[in-house]
A and B are shown apart, each in its own frame.
Chain A
Amino acid sequence: MRKLIITFFVVIMIAALTACGSNNAAPSKKSKDGGSITLAVPADPLVLNPNYASDRVTLTIQQALFAPLFYINGRNVTPALAEKLSVSKDQKTYELTLKKNLKWHDGKALTAKDVVFTLNSILDKKQNSDLRGNFVFNNKPVKAVALDNQTVKFTLPEVAPSFQLNLEQLYPIPQHVFANESNLQKSTKNNHPIGSGPYQFVTYKSGQYVELKKFNDFFGGKPHLDKVIFRVAKDQNAANLGLQNGSIQLKAIQPADVANVTGKGNVDVVSYPEYRLNYATFNENVPAFKNKTFRQAISYALNRDDIIKSAYGSNKYAVPASSIFTADVKFQNKNVQTYPYDLAKAKQLLDQSKVDKKQPLTILYLNNNKAQESIALYFQQQFKKIGLNLQLKPTDPAAWGNYALNRKSTAYGILLNGYIMGPEADTYKVLFQSTSPYNYANYHNAKLDKVWDAASVETDQAKRSADYDQIQNKIADDAVLYPISYDDALFALSKKYGGIKEAKPQPVTILRDLSKLYLK
């Protein structure tokens, strides 16, 4: 027993004495090249295959491993693997031209056949890709043909303006790797992905990290950093401490974390628009919320500035919202009814609505989301001021879908939620059309449904803009939802690194192009 105790303490002492700090290889001071960076991600990636990536972590890692046809950030579209995309006059045929001499990480050529293969694998029902809906219109799929090694022709079954954006965001996968795989999702080839992004796969250790090394044949030029590590750090407080001790150099953070992570002065905090709308929607399955005047009364009882402060601690990283469209949508119209804070008017409208004030109302939100909890508490306090009883209903993320995706649900009166729908206005219709499974408000307006459909196939931009104006105004007038804020995203980056501007911060994946980051 004595020997055992001594051995244990000796091991502990040796380890403690030999302990050291961060091991980032420092590059030559003269060169921008070399070194590595460690990014913290809150979970393991799921399937490292762009046909299946839908969570933030996988998409972030995918951004380094795979390259899209175009980079999209807000309204800016920049060619990536593609050189150009042209569209026919009838808007039913698109022709995509790839850049020359594109290569996969294994050295094989990336050609038009890979793009066609990717699209067909997404469309293959047996492959269960969640992107399939992006390329099927009115139950008819898009057809793709490789005209030569660089050119692909896409034929649409009908005019579909959302197709262009969906195509631009496509990340090709290599045909020569996946051609003989019967199940792409479960394929062992996903354990060692071959991509075309700035960094190539080295290893993945479950629960620990994903290690990538630079890909010298990247179409955007040789990456500066030799290695990129995505370190899985589940606990956000511990990960923020990792930023301070240098074991992590880049991490997405919350507004409430800014003071903590900048305390040691070794990181910069960067904020950028995420084109996300944070909102509260009113469930019209609940009789009280079926009443438009009641919904308007509630909207007048809420103060956006106060909500933003209660949710994020300050109004530095979010701006009050108005339209259902975010700023990346070119048809966004901010001059819609916003229901400025007016308690007297709220009470007056509430009386007019003749809704029974004593009936309990519920607000549903995620129990792991501190900002939503603060917003719910604020709503409760404001409802009390106008004589309403709002009950809090925090829910587990796993159970959230049972309420929110049930179109007959009366389990919530108000639902706190947020969305990043992208720059194409047509994609927003799934949230508002009467029969859509994602119509969380259970809002039914047959006339507006037709306007959505008309706008989606309208080729005249002026007419399309007028349609979307009508939609935004009607939804605001009907107080279908209460837009709270357009949120910024934030990340902290060690001051040792430069190239943030060139790496281009962007929603969801933090940076567009990690290859542009370098050690100062």
Chain B
Amino acid sequence: MATPSLLFWRELRLSRMILRRMLQIVPLLFVISVISFALVKLSPGDPVKMFVTPNMHPEDVERIRRSLGLNLPIYEQYFRWLGQIVHGNLGYSLQNSQPVLGQILQRLPATIGLMGTALAATLIIAIPLGLVAAKYENTWIDRLLNMISYISISIPVFWFGILLIEFFSVKLNWLPSLGMQTIGENSFVDLAQHAILPVTTLTFQGCGAYYRYVRSNTLSEIRKSYVEFGHAKGLSIWKLLWSHILKNVMLPVITLLGMSLPTLISGAYITESVFSWPGLGLLSVDAIFSLDYPIIMAMTLFSGLMLILGNLFADMTYQFVDPRIRK
């Protein structure tokens, strides 16, 4: 049992770790922004040429380029952009002239809803299945789950999505296949109906990796002496799995989860594309194809921020799951 003074020092150490990480965010984001901006600007293509039509006079094209500040040297364009960011202005899309922040905020709920549900469903399904597969190692259950996990990892997402649409939307006509709501309807049930197929696609895709992590870690834990000791004390294997082994198995899963957090806002382009889900994945990839750098930069910064926070979350969660780390 820790004394109050020991607890105080642990809390202080945790607070200092969080503070240190928070202070690292600004320079990290700065470095990310410099690299991303350089990559966007050095990639082949010219955003102005994307909307040039033969009817446009060359001087009109140049005027548009000047008005967007694209005639300036790259470093000057960067500092202009940075100046806007510091003032909380993410700029305007080059394609549709709409404020970038507005577009991101408009699509954020759909992305978090889809990705969050899929991530939660993945964990809810993959973790128990990983434990079960380890418990029944080398039986038909284990082999069946392994086979499904291989399929989950290797199946192309777009193909699986199309397959689900073909079966559930075209053949059975049970579920809608496009968008996130029926036009004119605003109910939760309608939203859930639209979410079933994309969530299923993402969950199936994600389960394989998590399942394999949990299974292999459970197998290495199950052979450790504390499990044998638990057996000797008369604890059932299920009790051991849920109460003791799972905690140790969760460490690599937490790392994986921390790394997955950016997808909560960056979205899943292919799934969003197949199901016409209005997420940020589509917005980002469309921006990349049209060299719409204000949107690309904003999304890169948000994803970078989420990755840093995801790692911080993972480090903090370790301390709660494994008391040894706290020491």
- Set of chain A residues within 8 Å of B54, measured between Cβ atoms: 419, 421, 427, 430-431, 438
Given contacts A19-B193, A245-B169, A401-B45, contact A46 B95 (CB under 8 A): yes
- Set of chain A residues within 8 Å of B178, measured between Cβ atoms: 231, 233, 238-239, 242, 247-248
CB pair A186 B286 closer than 8 Å:
no
B295-315 interface (Cβ within 8 A of A): none
Given contacts A8-B120, A43-B286, A241-B162, contact A247 B177 (CB under 8 A): yes
Given contacts A234-B273, A237-B162, A438-B54, contact A14 B192 (CB under 8 A): yes
B31-88 interface (Cβ within 8 A of A): 43-47, 49-58, 60-61, 63-64, 67
User: Within the assembled complex, what's the spacing in Å between the Cα atoms of A9 and B184?
Assistant: 26
Q: What per-residue 1/0 map shows which CB atoms of B189-209 lie under 8 Å from chain A? A: 100110110000000000000
Residues of chain B at interface, number, CB under 8 A: 71
- Set of chain A residues within 8 Å of B173, measured between Cβ atoms: 21, 245
- Set of chain A residues within 8 Å of B44, measured between Cβ atoms: 396, 398-399, 402
Q: Which of B230-238, B274-282, B319-327 lines the interface with chain A?
A: B274-282
CB pair A207 B177 closer than 8 Å:
no
The minimal Cβ–Cβ distance linking A44 to chain B, given in whole angstroms, is 7
Q: Which of A234, A397, A419 has the most CB of B within 10 A?
A: A234
User: Within the assembled complex, what's the spacing in Å between the Cα atoms of A21 and B174?
Assistant: 7
User: Within the assembled complex, what's the spacing in Å between the Cα atoms of A8 and B124?
Assistant: 9
A238-B274, A400-B45 given; 6 more Cβ-contact pairs under 8 Å: A11-B192, A46-B97, A209-B183, A211-B183, A235-B274, A238-B177
CB pair B55 A130 closer than 8 Å:
yes
Residue ID in chain B nearest A185 by CB atoms: B97
Q: Which of A72-80, A131-139, A346-354 lines the interface with chain B?
A: A131-139
Residue B258 is within 8 A (CB to CB) of chain A in the complex: no
The minimal Cβ–Cβ distance linking B251 to chain A, given in whole angstroms, is 18
CB pair A12 B103 closer than 8 Å:
no
CB pair B183 A244 closer than 8 Å:
no
- Set of chain B residues within 8 Å of A211, measured between Cβ atoms: 183
Residue B261 is within 8 A (CB to CB) of chain A in the complex: no
Given contacts A47-B97, A398-B290, contact A15 B169 (CB under 8 A): no
User: Within the assembled complex, what's the spacing in Å between the Cα atoms of A299 and B7?
Assistant: 84
Given contacts A133-B60, A232-B276, A397-B289, contact A402 B124 (CB under 8 A): no
A186-213 interface (Cβ within 8 A of B): 186, 190-191, 205-209, 211
Given contacts A11-B192, A130-B60, contact A427 B174 (CB under 8 A): no
| Selected contact of B53 from candidates A47, A128, A130, A191, CB within 8 Å | A130
| 14 CB < 8 A contacts A-B | A8-B120, A15-B196, A136-B57, A186-B92, A206-B283, A208-B278, A237-B162, A239-B276, A241-B169, A264-B170, A396-B44, A398-B45, A399-B43, A402-B44
| Selected contact of B283 from candidates A20, A136, A207, A437, CB within 8 Å | A207
Residue A5 is within 8 A (CB to CB) of chain B in the complex: yes
Q: What per-residue 1/0 map shows which CB atoms of B247-288 lie under 8 Å from chain A? A: 000000000000000000000000011111111001100100
CB pair A402 B193 closer than 8 Å:
no
User: Within the assembled complex, what's the spacing in Å between the Cα atoms of A402 and B185?
Assistant: 45
A20-44 interface (Cβ within 8 A of B): 20-21, 23, 38, 43-44
CB pair B53 A208 closer than 8 Å:
no
CB pair A437 B58 closer than 8 Å:
yes
Residue ID in chain A nearest B44 by CB atoms: A399
Given contacts A399-B44, A401-B46, contact A232 B278 (CB under 8 A): yes
User: Within the assembled complex, what's the spacing in Å between the Cα atoms of A145 and B49?
Assistant: 34
Q: What per-residue 1/0 map shows which CB atoms of B90-113 lie under 8 Å from chain A? A: 001001111000010011001000
The minimal Cβ–Cβ distance linking A367 to chain B, given in whole angstroms, is 11
The minimal Cβ–Cβ distance linking A199 to chain B, given in whole angstroms, is 14
Given contacts A130-B55, A238-B165, contact A398 B181 (CB under 8 A): no
Contact count band on A: 35 or more
Residue A259 is within 8 A (CB to CB) of chain B in the complex: no
Q: Which 10 A-B pairs have the closest CB atoms?
A: A207-B278, A401-B49, A398-B45, A15-B192, A399-B44, A234-B273, A46-B96, A133-B57, A399-B45, A438-B54
Given contacts A185-B97, A232-B276, A402-B49, contact A427 B55 (CB under 8 A): yes
CB pair A206 B52 closer than 8 Å:
no
- Set of chain A residues within 8 Å of B185, measured between Cβ atoms: 23
- Set of chain B residues within 8 Å of A232, measured between Cβ atoms: 179, 276, 278
- Set of chain A residues within 8 Å of B278, measured between Cβ atoms: 205-208, 232
The minimal Cβ–Cβ distance linking B46 to chain A, given in whole angstroms, is 6
- Set of chain A residues within 8 Å of B45, measured between Cβ atoms: 396, 398-402
User: Within the assembled complex, what's the spacing in Å between the Cα atoms of A186 and B235?
Assistant: 68
The minimal Cβ–Cβ distance linking B270 to chain A, given in whole angstroms, is 8
Residue B213 is within 8 A (CB to CB) of chain A in the complex: no
Q: Which of B47, B60, B106, B120 has the most CB of A within 10 A?
A: B60
Residue A16 is within 8 A (CB to CB) of chain B in the complex: yes
Given contacts A238-B161, A398-B289, contact A207 B175 (CB under 8 A): no
Residue ID in chain A nearest B96 by CB atoms: A46
CB pair B192 A186 closer than 8 Å:
no
Residue B24 is within 8 A (CB to CB) of chain A in the complex: no
Residue A88 is within 8 A (CB to CB) of chain B in the complex: no
CB pair B52 A245 closer than 8 Å:
no
Q: Which of A14, A19, A186, A207 has the most CB of B within 10 A?
A: A207
Residue ID in chain B nearest A397 by CB atoms: B289
CB pair A229 B50 closer than 8 Å:
no
CB pair B276 A16 closer than 8 Å:
no
Residue A54 is within 8 A (CB to CB) of chain B in the complex: yes
Q: What per-residue 1/0 map shows which CB atoms of B106-127 lie under 8 Å from chain A? A: 1100100000000011001000
Residue B214 is within 8 A (CB to CB) of chain A in the complex: no
The minimal Cβ–Cβ distance linking B92 to chain A, given in whole angstroms, is 6
Residue A125 is within 8 A (CB to CB) of chain B in the complex: yes
